[in-house]
Chain A
Amino acid sequence: MPRNHVLPRAVLIGLVAVLAASAWGLSATSSREFCLSCHEMSPQAEEQRWSSHALSADKKPVACAECHLPPGFGPRFVAVKIYSGLKDAVMHFFLPDGSQPGGGLIRAELQPQARRFVDDDNCLRCHRDLYKDARGEQAVSELGKIAHDSYLGKNGQARSNCAGCHRNLAHLPVFDRRLDANRAFAERIRKELTLEQARAEQNPNEHNQKEEALP
Chain B
Amino acid sequence: MAAKKKLLLFLALALALVGGFFLYISLAFPGSRCEAAKHPEAPEKYSDCLECHLKVTPMAAQDWRESKHGVLLVKCAVCHGLPDGKGTVPFAAKPGVREICARCHEPAMKQMVEKYGARLECESCHPHHQNPMHRKAFEAKKPSKTSF
Which residues of A come within 8 Å of B, CB atoms?
75-76, 79-80, 82-83, 112, 115-117, 143-144, 146-147, 149-150, 155-161, 163-165, 167, 178-182
Distance of A112 Cα from B146 Cα, bound (Å): 11
The interface residues of chain A lying within 8 Å CB-to-CB of B29 are 79-80, 116-117
With beta carbons under 8 angstroms apart, the residue of A75, A146, A163, A182 that contacts B45 is A146
Interface size class of B (residues with CB under 8 A): 20 to 34
Asked if B59 and A179 make an inter-chain contact with CB atoms under 8 angstroms apart, the answer reads yes
With beta carbons under 8 angstroms apart, the residue of A115, A116, A155, A178 that contacts B62 is A178
Asked if B38 and A156 make an inter-chain contact with CB atoms under 8 angstroms apart, the answer reads yes
Given contacts A146-B52, A179-B58, A181-B54, contact A159 B40 (CB under 8 A): no
Of the listed stretches B5-13, B20-28, B114-122, name the one at the interface; the rest are far from the partner chain: B20-28
Given contacts A79-B28, A143-B51, A147-B55, contact A156 B62 (CB under 8 A): no
With beta carbons under 8 angstroms apart, the residue of A80, A147, A150, A160 that contacts B148 is A160
**28 A/B residue pairs, CB under 8 Å, sorted by A:** A75-B24, A79-B21, A79-B25, A80-B29, A83-B25, A112-B143, A115-B148, A143-B55, A146-B42, A147-B40, A150-B39, A150-B40, A156-B40, A156-B41, A157-B34, A157-B36, A159-B33, A159-B34, A159-B146, A160-B33, A160-B148, A161-B33, A164-B147, A179-B58, A180-B54, A181-B55, A181-B58, A182-B58
Instruction: With both chains docked as a complex, state the minimum distance between the C-beta of B40 and any C-beta of chain A, in angstroms.
Output: 4
In the complex, the 4 A-B pairs of residues with the closest C-beta atoms, listed nearest first? A164-B148, A156-B40, A115-B148, A150-B40
Judge whether B32 is part of the interface by a CB distance below 8 angstroms.
Answer: yes
Distance of A158 Cα from B88 Cα, bound (Å): 24
Distance of A162 Cα from B10 Cα, bound (Å): 41
Which residues of B come within 8 Å of A, CB atoms?
21, 24-25, 28-29, 31-34, 36-42, 45, 51-52, 54-59, 61-62, 143-144, 146-148
The interface residues of chain A lying within 8 Å CB-to-CB of B146 are 158-160, 164
The interface residues of chain A lying within 8 Å CB-to-CB of B34 are 157, 159
With beta carbons under 8 angstroms apart, the residue of A80, A147, A155, A167 that contacts B58 is A167
The interface residues of chain B lying within 8 Å CB-to-CB of A146 are 40, 42, 45, 52
Instruction: With both chains docked as a complex, state the minimum distance between the C-beta of A39 and any C-beta of chain B, in angstroms.
Output: 27
Query: Which A residue's beta carbon lies closest to that of B142?
Result: A112
Distance of A160 Cα from B147 Cα, bound (Å): 5
Distance of A159 Cα from B31 Cα, bound (Å): 9
Asked if B148 and A155 make an inter-chain contact with CB atoms under 8 angstroms apart, the answer reads no
Asked if B37 and A79 make an inter-chain contact with CB atoms under 8 angstroms apart, the answer reads no
